[in-house]
Structure 1
Amino acid sequence: MTHRPLILPIFALALALFAGAAWFVSRPNTQIATVPPEVAEALVRPWSPVLGPENAPVTIVEFFDPACEACRAFHPIVKDIMAEHGDAVRVVVRYTPFHGEVSEVAIRVLESARMQGVFEPVMDALMREQPRWASHGGMRPDLIIRIAGEAGLDVAAAEAQIRAPDVVAVLNQDRADVEAVGVRQTPTFFVNERPLDPFGEVELRALVAEEVRRAGS
Structure 2
Amino acid sequence: MNKQKITVIITSVVVIIGFVIATFLYNSNQDAKDSLIAKEKESLFVRAHSPQMGPADAPVQLVEFMDPECESCRVFYSFVKHLMKKYEGKIQLTIRYVPFHGNSKFAIAILESARKQGKYWETLEILFEKQPLWGNHHKPSPELIWNYLPMVGVDVDQVKKDYKDPAYTKLIEQDFADARELGVKATPTFFINGKPLRNFGYEQLEAQIKEHL
The residue type paired with residue 155 of structure 1 is V
User: How does 1:105-116 map onto structure 2 within 5 Å?
Assistant: 105-116=106-117
Q: What is the match of residue 87 of structure 1? A: 89
Match of 2:141 in 1: 140
Trace 1:16-165 onto structure 2 (pairs within 5 A).
Answer: 32=32, 33-34=34-35, 35-100=37-102, 102-165=103-166
Query: How far apart are the structure 1 equivalents of 2:45 and 2:149?
Result: 27
Measured in 1, the distance between the counterparts of 2:56 and 2:167 equals: 22
* SS of match in other structure, 1:202: helix
- Asked if 2 retains the 8 angstrom alpha-carbon contact of 1:109 and 1:145, the reply is no
Q: Give the TM-score of the pair, scaled to structure 2.
A: 0.81
SS at 2:115's partner residue? helix
Q: Within 2, Cα distance between the matches of 1:150 and 1:62?
A: 26
Q: Name the CA shift for 1:78/1:105 in 2 (closer, same or farther; >3 Å).
A: same
Q: Secondary structure of 2:95's match?
A: strand
RMSD over aligned CA atoms reads 2.2
2:161 maps to a residue whose letter is A
Q: Once the 2 structures are TM-superposed, how far is the Cα of residue 155 of structure 1 from its aligned partner?
A: 1.0
SS state at 1:132 partner: helix
Q: 1:207: which partner in 2? A: 208
Structure 2 unaligned regions, length at least 5: 1-20
How far did 1:147 drift? 1.3
Name the SS of the counterpart of 1:83 in structure 2.
helix
Q: CA offset at residue 55 of structure 1? A: 2.8
- Deviation sequence 1:36-91 (CA, Å, 0-9, x none): 44432111101100122233221110000001110011000000011111001011
> By how many angstroms is 1:169 displaced?
1.6
Contact 1:105 1:144 in 2 (8 A): no
Q: How far 1:177 moved relative to its partner?
A: 1.2
Kept after mapping to 1: 8 A contact 2:67/2:187: yes
The one-letter amino acid of 1:117's match is: G
TM-score by length of 1: 0.80
How many equivalent pairs are there?
188
Larger Cα-atom Rg: 1
The answer to whether 1:192 aligns with 2:193 is: yes
Gaps of 5+ in 1: 1-23, 213-217
Runs of 4+ in 1 over 4 A off after TM superposition: 24-32
Residue 184 of structure 2 is matched in structure 1 by: 183
CA-CA distance at 1:95 after TM superposition: 0.7
What percent identity do the matched residue pairs reach? 37
8 Å CA contact 1:66, 1:72 repeated in 2: yes
| Offset, 1:197 | 1.4
Cα pair 1:109 1:148 within 8 Å, conserved = no
